[in-house]
A and B are shown apart, each in its own frame.
Chain A
């Protein structure tokens, strides 16, 4: 089944404790992206990657890191999480070949930083 998977689905952590949220897709997509979703603010792009070893900042990159060492994986790293990073996070992928750039989203990771 074609899908984007994320782990963990739920995470409660404390300020300053480094964490990684994994994302994997099995559709051989070139493009991958991370979003955060907050009430009243909608989906905001954090980072995106157009291919292996190619990443770039989205609209809200501060406090986050990413890497793309393999085509299928795109982990999101929070080196020193803070309470304002409490949010719902989505990973998405796209083939990038269709003009409308349909993105396939993972199920989401709900992060709480205390």
Chain B
């Protein structure tokens, strides 16, 4: 079983929709939870990160972590065509091998006008 599972989609929504992206994980040692965004023909870039459980909001984006269920989510409100990208969840354990991240497979999102 892969340590981080993510539905690859693809996901296609109209502009203005609320988008929900999710990942599950198996390693209870994970403490840091991140979302990377990757535009076509580019490298991934960090979008948001959360430490332990709870919510974090940044503009139209909200990251949620439920450690009891080993489940993380990214919500995008009022989605825009510019949000079209692949979204990858990533996790790391406190005190883990320096720099080691565990990635999901990524979910490809298309927002059409």
Q: Please list the residues of chain A having a beta carbon within 8 angstroms of any beta carbon in chain B.
A: 4, 30-31, 33, 40-43, 45, 48, 50, 90, 92, 94, 96, 99-103, 105-108
Checking B32, B34, B96, B105 against A40 with a beta-carbon cut-off of 8 angstroms, the contacting residue is B105
User: Is B60 close to A, CB under 8 A?
Assistant: no
Known: A42-B103, A42-B104. Contact between A101 and B43, CB under 8 A?
A: no
Quick check: B92 and A100 within 8 Å, CB to CB?
yes
User: Is B101 close to A, CB under 8 A?
Assistant: yes
Q: A42, A45, A50, A105 — which one has the most chain B CB atoms within 10 A of its CB? A: A42
Quick check: B106 and A33 within 8 Å, CB to CB?
no
- In B16-54, the 8 Å CB interface with A consists of 31-32, 34, 41-46, 49, 51
- The CA-CA distance from A90 to B44 in the complex, in Å, is 9
A/B interface sample: 16 pairs, CB < 8 A: A41-B105, A42-B6, A42-B103, A43-B44, A43-B103, A43-B106, A48-B100, A50-B97, A92-B43, A99-B31, A100-B34, A101-B98, A101-B99, A102-B49, A106-B43, A107-B42
Quick check: B41 and A31 within 8 Å, CB to CB?
no
- Looking at the assembled complex, report how far the CB atom of A38 sits from the nearest CB atom of chain B, in whole angstroms: 10
Number of interface residues of B (CB under 8 A): 26
- Looking at the assembled complex, report how far the CB atom of B86 sits from the nearest CB atom of chain A, in whole angstroms: 9
Quick check: B99 and A48 within 8 Å, CB to CB?
yes
- In B83-99, the 8 Å CB interface with A consists of 88, 92, 94, 96-99
| Proximity bits, B49-90, A CB within 8 Å = 1, else 0 | 101000000000000000000000000000000000000100
List of A residues within 8 angstroms of B51 by Cβ:
99-100
